[in-house]
Amino acid sequence: MIKRPYRQIRLQRQPKNAESIMKYKPLSPVKKGFPWALTYALLIMVALCLAAVLLFRDARVQKKLHRAGMLKSNRPLAVDPEQGNQDILAAESETTHTGNSAPVGFSLPRHIVMMRPRPQDYDFKAMREQLRAYMDMIPPENKEIERERIRYLGSYKDYLVSKMQKLAYTPEDDNLLLADGRRIQGSITVFSNAQTLKIRLKNSKKGSLAELKWNELSQEEFFKIAHSYVRRQADSLMGHKIIPATRLNEIFDEYLYLILLADWYQKDDLLRQYCREFSQLPIAEKKNELLNYIQWPEQLQP
């Protein structure tokens, strides 16, 4: 007896009518790798959706900038100035933050600013403990900037003394205002140092010098002295069409010191004055470097 193959025996036992064949027909097996292909397709769809959302958002901002005249062949368009300003502000607000506009430049909470140690003799090196306690209050993200600011301030007194030792300071009205409100007639000589100011009193005997401690000098007079040396450097740029980069860097450092001092001692009127002068000099293009350390006065914001 010839044995039939197993497949033939199996087919013979299946029902012969078409309806039964359809009923017992096995389902097609799932192709190998199908779940991975589905996952890949879903990921592509999600990525396309995110790209569409970002493009739509960017298109809205660019539309506002176009209307403001800021885009299109990198040339401003002829638009209504008032409408253009509104569109620029709206675009900036959408791309950077929501709500009220943020201060321009570096800033700290006011209650922390009020706790800054402010030595009356401008000797920050003698206030290490107070400065250490102050730094403990600074948010972690601001510590490095504030630490660098203090390094600048800590070296300023020696820097100013080096200026005085090269060129004596004579007040415009021959009067030096003291911390107690008194005025003395005289000039600060090149013999001054970080401990005392050597004053040549007006109408005094030749070679006779009076000594004045730094904390006996009023803050108003101190800032006049500091500003006079900075203005002397800035005025030297007048009339020059080509100024070496090293010279501009020196002027920038002069104003950086002065502005940091005014900001630290909360001399708001002087801060505005110094920032205004800064904006009118060839160093104005370095404003962003200055904003790493101070908040630009609101009255000078564009």
How much is the pLDDT for 100?
Answer: 45
**179 domain-assigned:** yes
How much is the pLDDT for 198?
Answer: 95
Q: Would you say 243 and 237 are in contact if contact means Cβ atoms under 8 Å apart? A: yes
How much is the pLDDT for 140?
Answer: 93
How much is the pLDDT for 207?
Answer: 66
DSSP H or E segment with residue 185: strand 183-188
In angstroms, the CA 65 to CA 87 distance is 7
- Same domain? For 294 and 155 the reply is yes
- Same domain? For 72 and 171 the reply is no
- Same domain? For 81 and 154 the reply is no
- Do the bridges between strand 183-188 and strand 210-213 make them parallel or antiparallel, or are there none, so unpaired? unpaired
What's the whole-model pTM score? 0.64
**178 domain-assigned:** yes
How much is the pLDDT for 72?
Answer: 36
How much is the pLDDT for 36?
Answer: 63
Give the structural domain span for 171: 150-300
Number of domains within the chain: 2
Q: Would you say 217 and 192 are in contact if contact means Cβ atoms under 8 Å apart? A: no
In angstroms, the CA 120 to CA 114 distance is 15
- Same domain? For 282 and 181 the reply is yes
Per-residue pLDDT tens digits for 260-279: 999 999 999 999 999 999 99
Contacts of 228 (CB under 8 A, 6+ apart): 169
In angstroms, the CA 285 to CA 288 distance is 8
- Same domain? For 85 and 163 the reply is no
Q: Which regions of the chain are under pLDDT 70? A: 1-37, 40, 46-47, 49-103, 207, 299-302
**234 domain-assigned:** yes
- Same domain? For 178 and 287 the reply is yes
**11 domain-assigned:** no
What b/e readout covers 26-59, taking b as 16+ CB neighbours within 10 angstroms? eeeeeeeeeeeeeeeeeeeeeeeeeeeeeeeeee
**126 domain-assigned:** no
Per-residue pLDDT tens digits for 34-46: 566 677 677 777 6
N- to C-terminal Cα separation, the chain: 107
Contacts of 71 (CB under 8 A, 6+ apart): 62, 65
Contacts of residues 95-100 at CB distance under 8 Å and 24 or more positions apart, as own/partner, are: 95/61
- Which residue type is seen at 268? D
Q: Would you say 271 and 256 are in contact if contact means Cβ atoms under 8 Å apart? A: no
How much is the pLDDT for 167?
Answer: 95
How much is the pLDDT for 241?
Answer: 79
- Same domain? For 87 and 167 the reply is no
